[in-house]
Structure 1
Amino acid sequence: MSDKDKTFLIGELAAATGVTVRTLQHYDKIGLLPTSGRTEGGRRYYTEEDMLSLEQIIFYKSLGLSLQEIRDKVVNRPSLSQIEQILHAQEVALYKKIEDAHAGIAAIEACRTAIASGNYPSWQLLTGFIETLKNSNLMDWRQYAFKDAQMSVFSKRFENEQDAFDLYHTWRVLALKAATLAKSGVSPDDPAAQAMAEDWRKMTADVTQGDPDRIHAFAQVQADRSAWPEGDRDLMEASQPFIDLAVKRYLEHRSQKQK
């Protein structure tokens, strides 16, 4: 018997793949992974092809796809191009979950910033922005019409997607902190505001590194805010005035210390 013709009893398949017999019985019952036949003794068996299907089921389930989605999209032997579409769709879904988590973390940090200034956070503002940010994420920037010169600059600065995500999340946290402080009526001179301003300066310095082309490219995007994804545009408009004031005071304080 060739490997292709090899068969497995349910217990053997369970041991080989790490799933339980009960799980395999459930998959059989719902039509996700039916058994291929029965032995002469009446015992159900699986084939090598069934094992391959099960490995795919386990993989896609680990990515967060539901059994219904797997049954509809995967078990019908999708082509390589269809597999790519499945993976892309799930990648987008997972990034969305990551973005939602980061929106919550940004709100928590904004709350702590308000508390550090001796103020209660603006619950309404934070709740509104959490919902707004969950509906706007870095993937939306793919629709933004970057100019060729900007893309050239940004591709050199962001060698991979993780670099872009790190900057994006840092920006969101600081902008939400600034919007919260502004809403709470905190002075730009407040230590919490100055800590935010220092982090903002560090972020911009890290991004541009004093390079004129980078500074110009980011300034162009900043000036084109009307074309931004809605959530990010709203957050920037709510935070920018306070950021400008806090950074101005930060630079003045630092200049005075250097004298």
Structure 2
Amino acid sequence: MAKHRSIPPGFMTVGEAAKKTGVTVRTLQYYDREGLLSPSAESEGGRRLYTDKDLVMLHQIISLKSLGFSLDDIKHRLTSLETPTDVAAALTEQADGIREKIEQLTASLTAIEQLKEEVLQMQTVNFRKYADIIVNLHMKNDSYYLIKRFDDDTLDHIRNRFDKESGLDFMDRFNRLSDKLIELQKAGVSPESEECQRVVKEYWELITEFTGGDMSMLPKLMEVGHIDTAANAWEERQKMVNAYLEPALQVYFSRLGENPFAAG
């Protein structure tokens, strides 16, 4: 880490960096201690000095954290930003995220416009549909494509079982496990491996938590999860998860000695 007698142009203190990015000084200090984001320089007086490059790295951390990744996961997913190729990779990932948000917001906008037309034509209000749109918007649309595939009975189950906080927590865990399965798939890890089976066990426990032990919901969940042709980024991602998860679940249930999907 370079040392400077005073604060040269292009550098900023921890307080200035925190103000620019909307995080707290304590958060930046914590990331520094954890080895997640160390400032590029230090003054002779011991003041930690950040650069614009550090702020870009911080943006990566904030983005990954908002998706539910742990700090350990984030350490392994950060792009180094040492070369133009590194920067291009980071920009590609950011662009993909923006495209997905655009798709989700467009779908929400379509739902709102359709509901408006229904209200004007029928002179009645479908408050259930209205409430679902509002919930999707409050959840920042992260789960929009999943929620819109559920039927009314399943949506009622979700409303009764989860509030906003517990629902977001559930989706964070669901997305983390899905990302882990994709990561294992891309790394060529066998579905039979102990590493994969540990993740599959967590995934199945999450499904059991969602159903509250009601196995009669499984056929509906299978229907929701089945995707023939992906129409958006979420569905494309889910197809990747399914391709790896299905054989892994077969191994899991075989070792368990039972298959709840084959019951009845």
Q: TM-score range by the shorter chain?
A: 0.3 to 0.5
TM-score (norm 1): 0.45
In terms of fraction of residues, the more helix-rich structure is 1
Q: Which structure carries more relative contact order (alpha carbon 8 Å, separation 6+)?
A: 1
Larger gyration radius, structure 1 or structure 2: 1
TM-score (norm 2): 0.45
